[in-house]
């Protein structure tokens, strides 16, 4: 069997199982098994594939047909143009989170700062920021042991382990340090909305990384309250928030003596990131 035939058999199975990106996913699975870029696979479609590859391909396609996210199947997700290791212990990095990275990198480029990432997951935010701000150091915390394992793996993979520590801790247990920049993409989905998420997300991604309690603001509040005590006077708190949460988040920030420095909107014009600093 050649690559072209195998790809179309995979795509057909995925299409039957209502995977919208059936063609692309089939190509990504095969290129990953052949350890090739998707582009180079697509210009060599007549290449014969081994029996072993066919078996592995069928196994992975069947996982995707059961709605497992491709990132978990391939154990990797591109974020900030880097390859992050992922497994089901941590949330899969989302492209909109790059907005947060972009804005804090712009603000702090070339500055020697201390960063804290609350609820670091794969470590994608703090590691991307550290990769661009070479003078910076940081700590990533997460209540999930599994997530911390993933983040540590990524810090080694990206050669950043000398500048970052990942600790399995709750944000309530952080004291005695001050930070110049606190970043967080906390769980912000309302508990009652979790059932409406796609199967890919709700059946495979860690609930703890998604569930923000009754109004979705439980963890956001904790992050803001804690930041009030551990952010340096001239520091910045950068938060990713969910759809429609801006108004409430803005009130909570005010109550805790913060003022907004910058708002970042996504392509649908929703405020998705809030950068705040202490009121003068
Ligand atoms: N900080 C990680 C990310 O942005 C994990 C976020 C989370 O678990 N809610 O992907």
Q: How many domains does the chain have?
A: 2
Label residue 268 by pLDDT band (50, 70, 90).
confident
Say if 95 falls within a structural domain.
yes
Label residue 280 by pLDDT band (50, 70, 90).
confident
Same domain, yes or no: 147 and 203? yes
Side-chain-side CA neighbours of residue 204 (13 Å): 18
The model's pLDDT over 95-134, given as tens digits with 9 standing for 90+, comes to 999 999 999 999 999 999 999 999 999 999 999 999 999 9
Same domain, yes or no: 59 and 156? no
The span from the CA of 97 to the CA of 112, in Å, is: 23
Q: What are the φ/ψ torsions at residue 147 (nearest 5 degrees)?
A: -65, -40
Q: Return mean pLDDT, the chain.
A: 96
Side-chain-side CA neighbours of residue 150 (13 Å): 28
Same domain, yes or no: 16 and 115? no
pLDDT of amino acid 267: 84
**Residue nearest atom 10 in ligand 1 by C-alpha distance:** 93
Domain that holds residue 171: 77-278
Distance in Å, CA 91 to ligand 1 centroid:
6
Label residue 178 by pLDDT band (50, 70, 90).
very high
Label residue 82 by pLDDT band (50, 70, 90).
very high
Label residue 176 by pLDDT band (50, 70, 90).
confident
pLDDT of amino acid 45: 94
Question: How many other β-carbons are positioned within 10 Å of the β-carbon of residue 23?
Answer: 16
Any idea what the Cα angle at residue 72 is, between residues 33 and 90, rounded to 5°?
Answer: 145
Q: Pull the structure tokens for residue 105.
A: 């990198």
- Rounded to the nearest 10 degrees, how much is the dihedral formed by the CA atoms of 267, 205, 147, 74? -90
Pick the closest to residue 102 from 80, 83, 135, 122 (CA basis): 80
Q: Which residues pair with 274 in a beta bridge?
A: 239, 263
Same domain, yes or no: 200 and 96? yes
Write down the pTM of the prediction.
0.95
pLDDT of amino acid 27: 97
Q: Which residues pair with 141 in a beta bridge?
A: 118, 167
Same domain, yes or no: 49 and 123? no
The model's pLDDT over 32-44, given as tens digits with 9 standing for 90+, comes to 999 999 999 999 9
The preferred substitution site among 80, 99, 125, 223 for testing ligand 1, maximizing ligand atoms within 8 Å of CB, is 125
Contact status, residue 19 vs residue 25, Cβ threshold 8 Å: yes
Same domain, yes or no: 151 and 193? yes
Distance in Å, CA 41 to ligand 1 centroid:
32
pLDDT above 90: residue 46: yes
**Residue nearest atom 5 in ligand 1 by C-alpha distance:** 121
Same domain, yes or no: 137 and 272? yes
Same domain, yes or no: 32 and 150? no
Same domain, yes or no: 254 and 177? yes
Q: Pull the structure tokens for residue 229.
A: 């005590």
Distance in Å, CA 96 to ligand 1 centroid:
11
Say if 226 falls within a structural domain.
yes
């Amino acid at each position: 069997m050649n690559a072209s035939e195998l790809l179309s058999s995979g795509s057909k199975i995925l299409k039957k199982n209502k995977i919208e990106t059936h063609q692309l996913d089939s190509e990504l699975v095969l290129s990953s098994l052949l350890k090739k870029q998707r582009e180079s696979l697509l210009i060599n479609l007549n290449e014969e594939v081994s029996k072993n590859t066919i078996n592995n391909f069928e196994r992975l396609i069947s996982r995707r047909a059961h709605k497992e996210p491709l990132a978990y199947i391939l154990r990797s997700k591109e974020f900030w143009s880097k390859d992050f290791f992922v497994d089901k212990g941590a949330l899969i990095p989302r492209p909109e989170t790059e907005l947060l990275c972009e804005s804090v990198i712009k603000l702090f480029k070339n500055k020697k700062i201390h960063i804290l990432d609350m609820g670091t997951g794969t470590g994608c935010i703090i590691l991307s920021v550290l990769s661009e701000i070479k003078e910076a150091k940081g700590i990533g915390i997460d209540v999930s042991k599994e997530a911390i394992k993933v983040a540590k793996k990524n810090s080694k993979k990206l050669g950043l382990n000398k500048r970052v520590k990942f600790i399995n801790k709750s944000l309530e247990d952080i004291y005695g340090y001050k930070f110049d920049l606190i970043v967080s993409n906390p769980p912000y989905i309302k508990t009652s909305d979790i059932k409406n998420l796609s199967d890919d997300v709700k059946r495979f991604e860690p609930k703890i990384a998604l569930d923000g309690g009754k109004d979705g603001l439980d963890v956001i509040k904790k992050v803001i309250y804690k930041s009030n005590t551990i952010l340096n006077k001239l520091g910045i708190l950068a938060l990713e928030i969910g759809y429609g949460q801006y108004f409430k988040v803005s009130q909570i920030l005010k109550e805790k003596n913060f003022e907004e420095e910058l708002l970042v909107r996504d392509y649908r014009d929703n405020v998705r990131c809030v950068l705040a600093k202490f009121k003068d």
